[in-house]
Structures are given as structure tokens and as C-alpha cells.
A = this chain, B = another copy of it.
Amino acid sequence: MSWQLTAADLPDLARGATLLGTGGGGDPYIGQMLVTRVLGDGEITILDPDEIDDELFVIPTAQMGAPTVMVEKIPAGTEPLEALRTLEAHLGRRAEATMPIECGGINSMIPLIVAAESGLPVVDADGMGRAFPELSMETFAVYGVQGSPLALAGERGEHVIIDTGADNRQMESFARAITIKLGGVGHIAEYAMTGADVRRTAVPRTLSMALALGRAIREAREAHLSPFKALEQALAKTLYSELRELHVGKVVDVERRTTEGFARGRAVIEPLGPGAPVEVLFQNENLVAMRDGELLAIVPDLICIVDAETAEPITTEGLRYGQRVRVLGISTPELMRTEAALETFGPSAFGLSQQFLPVESLGGRPIAE
């Protein structure tokens, strides 16, 4: 069902989007501030993907760059709409809606900024179903919508159009190279598509899911109930139906370096009692969680590190020595686990040697009553 989003929804949406960011995706709180500033008392129409016209012309918008840099370099707010307008001019066709390419992290907010500035509606769907580090890691791409042409806008009026035909990895590499020259952050419009394409290739209702998850956590806290149990119940109503607790412990080591436009590294979390530590590897987002050689969860399933008590999601940048955390695993929808999908954003796409195994088949345990 289509619905209206107001500024009051943004804190919950930001929390949920941070959870779906699985450690990366950039800080949605910065995006939230930008949306709030532009939206004021207004509303944004969020379109249900099942209700849109087959011919609706949708241009997704996003920010790209290393999350580490995004925290230091806050966008002006006009670049995403600039990117969309640049792509419209190049295509000779006006967008009738925008959409996230990535529902996790700040990219949940970027289309809302565009919507608030332009009056365009936002389609409640995305192409990652979480956050991923590369523009080519899209269900859109997996199911046949090409990313090119891509438009990129910089904060000093720079405009770039990249067309690499069907080669989304080359598109990603070009856009990443420009983004690095822009100081680490660029704003983009890409994967222009029709309403029929959205239904065929997008992960549906991920914006409303992010909002529902963020709200469930907050409301449970306010009611002094378990936010973990609330999260489990909220997820059960979505395509992400399996939640597993992988570990509870204390952060004892975080390695993090920004190279080639990515934040890469690992976190080590020791148990509070006896037992082996859990290691989480990340490239912007958490990729794999292991305990003593045992696989607990692996990309594209969600690996979320959250505060052990409040369930507040913690980004890679927010990880600190001594934090008490829970590591959660969340199952992803079937369209993100097909052979074609795993080729694009499964373990091997990140150079990991492990095979994908569904988190619900591994050693994590359900949330305790």
C-alpha cells in the first residue's frame, strides 16, 4: 500500500536503515538531518511497488563513497537532485519517481531528499535489500536492468555521465574513480527503469521495512520490553523472516583502513564468559562472521552488530573497544540468494573462499523469550 512519510518517521527509519546497513552504508542520521531541513512539515508519497504503473519512469538516486569519509564530509543536499536532473537531460525524459538503490544506511535517505526537493514520489523498494559497497551489486543488475547511463554530481557543480553499456562493474569502477577525485563522496542517479522493471528486479518494501524495524526497537524500549523480541516479530512479517543471535560479547579489536575508496577491516568480539571470540570481516559492510573456524553468517545475509541491551545498531565507524554488543544474523529474501544473485554479491564477489549458507541453517540461535 502506498503511504505518506513525514519528518516524524525519520528517526525510526534511520535506525532501521542503520540496521540494514550491516555496519556500512553511511550514516543515515546525516541524511535524516538533510531530509528534515528540506521537508519541514511536508509529506513524501511512498509508492507501493505492486501499485505503480508498468510505464512509470523511475530514476533511483544515491550517494557513493567510503562511509568513513561521509561522516567527515557532509553533503550540501542539492547534489542528488542535480544527479537526477543530469540523467534526465541526458535521457531526454523526466523521472516520475525516484527510488533507493540501497535501503541500508544513508542511501535510504538520499531519495527522500530528492523527493522533498522535487515533489517526486519514492518507490518503496531498492536494489540491494541491505547495503553493499559497490554500485554493481544490485538485484536490478542481476535481473537485467543495466546501471548505465549513470549521472554523477559533485558539490562544486561537476557533472559526469558514465555509459559502459551492460558492464556494470566498469561503470562502478569509473564512478568510484571520480568519487575519489571528488574527495571521497559523489551523488548519483542510475538504473533508470520502468514500473514493470521495478516489480521484476527490485527488493520490495524495504523502505517501509526499515521504518517498521526502527519503530519496533524504539517502541519495545519505551515499553520496557525486549527490543530483540520486537525485532524478531517485526521481521516475521517481511521477506527477511529469520533472525538469529550469533554472539554476545565485548569488542576487543577493530582494524579499519580506507583504501581505494572503501573502508576495509575486521572486528573481534570476545564472549563475556568463556569461549572463542567471533570475528567479523567487513568491506564497508559486514561480510562474514566466524567463530573458531565455524561459519555463523555470510553475505548476502545480514550481519548486524548492535548494542547488547538496547539493540541500537552500531556501524563499523561506531565500533569501539569495550562495547558490549550482540551480533545478529538476518535472512535475506529468495531473490537475493539465487545463483545469479550470489554471483553478483555473494561471498565470491568479495573474494571470500566460503560458500554461501543460509543463516537459518547455521549455528546462530533464535531470540530467547
What is the minimal beta-carbon distance from A105 to any residue of chain B, in angstroms? 25
Q: Given the known A-B contacts A161-B161, A162-B160, A163-B160, are A177 and B181 also in contact in the complex, defined by CB atoms under 8 Å?
A: yes
Chain B residues, CB < 8 A from A160: 160-163, 174
Interface set, chain A 156-170, CB cutoff 8 A to B: 156-165, 167, 170
Does A178 make an interface contact (CB < 8 A)? yes
Alpha-carbon gap, A157 to B162, bound state (A): 11
> Contact: A174 with B178, CB < 8 Å?
yes
- What is the interface size of chain A, counting residues whose CB is below 8 A from a CB of the partner? 20
What is the minimal beta-carbon distance from A107 to any residue of chain B, in angstroms? 23
Which one of B164, B173, B181 contacts A174 once the chains associate, using CB atoms below 8 Å? Answer: B181
Does A196 make an interface contact (CB < 8 A)? no
Does A220 make an interface contact (CB < 8 A)? no
What is the minimal beta-carbon distance from A86 to any residue of chain B, in angstroms? 8
Most buried by B among A154, A161, A165: A161
Which residues of A approach B to under 8 Å, CB–CB?
90, 154, 156-165, 167, 170, 173-174, 177-178, 180-181
Chain B residues, CB < 8 A from A180: 177
Chain B residues, CB < 8 A from A170: 156, 158, 181
Alpha-carbon gap, A167 to B160, bound state (A): 13
**What are the 9 tightest A-B residue pairs by CB atom distance, in nearest-first order?**
A177-B177, A161-B161, A159-B163, A158-B164, A173-B181, A160-B162, A177-B181, A157-B165, A174-B178
List 14 interface pairs A-B (beta carbons < 8 Å), by A numbering: A90-B161, A156-B164, A158-B163, A158-B165, A159-B161, A159-B163, A160-B161, A160-B162, A160-B174, A161-B161, A170-B181, A174-B181, A177-B177, A177-B180
Complex copy number for this chain = 2
Chain B residues, CB < 8 A from A159: 161-164
Chain B residues, CB < 8 A from A154: 164
What is the minimal beta-carbon distance from A190 to any residue of chain B, in angstroms? 13
**Complex: chain B residue closest to A165, CB-CB:** B157
Chain B residues, CB < 8 A from A178: 174, 177-178
Alpha-carbon gap, A156 to B163, bound state (A): 11
What is the minimal beta-carbon distance from A283 to any residue of chain B, in angstroms? 19
Alpha-carbon gap, A165 to B173, bound state (A): 23
Alpha-carbon gap, A177 to B90, bound state (A): 22
Alpha-carbon gap, A239 to B117, bound state (A): 55
Chain B residues, CB < 8 A from A163: 158-160
Chain B residues, CB < 8 A from A165: 157-158
**Complex: chain B residue closest to A176, CB-CB:** B181
**Complex: chain B residue closest to A153, CB-CB:** B163
Chain B residues, CB < 8 A from A90: 90, 161
**Complex: chain B residue closest to A151, CB-CB:** B161
Chain B residues, CB < 8 A from A157: 164-165
Alpha-carbon gap, A181 to B177, bound state (A): 8
Chain B residues, CB < 8 A from A158: 162-165, 167, 170, 174
Alpha-carbon gap, A165 to B156, bound state (A): 9
Chain B residues, CB < 8 A from A162: 158-160
**Complex: chain B residue closest to A173, CB-CB:** B181
Alpha-carbon gap, A156 to B160, bound state (A): 19
Alpha-carbon gap, A277 to B158, bound state (A): 47
